[in-house]
Amino acid sequence: MTYAKSPYQNRIKLYSDGADRAQLLEMNTNSAISGMTTNPSLMKKAGVKNYKEFCQEILTHITVKPISFEVFADDISEMKRQALEIAKWGKNIYVKIPVMNTRKESTMGLVRELSQSGVKLNITALFTLNQVMETCQAVKGGAPALVSVFAGRIADTGRDPMPLMKASSEICHSTGPGVELLWASTREAFNIVQAEESGCDIITAPVDVLKKISGFNKDLFEMSLDTIKMFKADSESAGFQL
């Protein structure tokens, strides 16, 4: 069997997803990376202790590329306060607002208010087409906004995210300029191809996934040989014997 080359055309913007300081600074200097996204869970994993200090220190280095920082309040009014505070830290900031809180209360009213007041937003944790439609209506005519659909987590449920992402692309692009669809919760390098084919404007992915782009269209026979060489080197370095 022969395999077609990757159809990836480098038309989609690549964002790095994570909160590791060293990786954020590395991606900031990488011309192939257009922006960065973070979230509270990634910050906890990276060992961040002081949210504000971490963000503001990072912003002394990342001053041009867009970067998303998320509110962590669960009360809508406190979300607003946090969003307005975060937005003050830099012109390249997109404030992440979840599509609802833990009590299932929609944040669309807040999203509309912030967007119309000029706050750039990244509306996050979207999983349904209805959520995409409501979000696009809320940001229509407002500040630039990212509509983050968690395609990877949808795939984790055994569902193909491509139909939803294609439909979401049509909705976002018909909303008006400044509204971009973002493929979130990336699991593997092929998701980059899928995101581009579905019409997404952006895909955000962990650094280790983004680095796999360099292997796109690599000869598969050579990949087989490289894998076998790896097994040999690892077994030798481990000192395995029978």
The set of catalytic residues is 96
Q: What are phi and psi of 222, to 5 degrees?
A: -65, -35
User: What is the greatest pairwise CA distance in the chain?
Assistant: 70
Q: How far apart are CA 51 and CA 180, in angstroms?
A: 27
Q: How far apart are CA 79 and CA 77, in angstroms?
A: 5
What is the chain written as a DSSP string?
Answer: ---PPP---S-SEEEEE---HHHHHHHHT-TT--EEE--HHHHHHTT---HHHHHHHHTTT--SS-EEEE---SSHHHHHHHHHHHHTT-TTEEEEEESB-TT--B-HHHHHHHHHTT--EEEEEE-SHHHHHHHHHHHTTSS-EEEEE-HHHHHHTT---HHHHHHHHHHHHHH-TTEEEEE-S--STHHHHHHHHHT-SEEEE-HHHHGGGGGTT--HHHHHHHHHHHHHHHHHHHT---
